[in-house]
Amino acid sequence: MVSCSYSHRIIVDCDFIRWLSTSQQKSMIISKMLRININSKEHKKQNIIILEKDFESLCKEGIIKDKDTIRGGVSPFDINEELGDLTDKELTMEALRLITGVVLTRRKPFQMVLLTTTEGKKKYFDNYSEFLEKLKNFDIKNENEGLVIINDLYKTYTSEREMGR
């Protein structure tokens, strides 16, 4: 089994998963995400995460139909296990995602990327630009930029796999 240290961890939001669910490349992208997650050295099955609340919301909407299939590529993450019960606070889901991303920059590989859509990225920057400008180890990427990152992490996996043969 290949074990990879990746350059980034990824958190995805609902907008990114909605986009992914309609993408022509859905199967290929999810397959790559699965390989990245399964083979993560530092964060086995949790290199690519989604907030648990987002995951449940997408299941209720019917966007995520097969929980087990998507769970391999995107792992539901409970931020409350890290910081106590934040869901009781009056925070938007966007703020919770940003807090989660920032908290997780404290762990290897110390780089987090939030994947969203073009519209979602604009919304984050419109509402949180002052906060985001101060962050060095956290970035927000739209769907196309996100695919580049997924492909880069997947190349890390395939390189490690080839070297191990």
For 48-69, the pLDDT digits (tens) are: 999 999 999 999 998 887 766 6
Q: Which residue has the tokens 């530092």?
A: 42
Decide which of 90 and 138 is more confident: 138
pLDDT of 91 reads: 84
What's the CA dihedral at 79, 100, 18, 21 to 10 degrees? -80
Q: Which residue has the tokens 């990327």?
A: 113
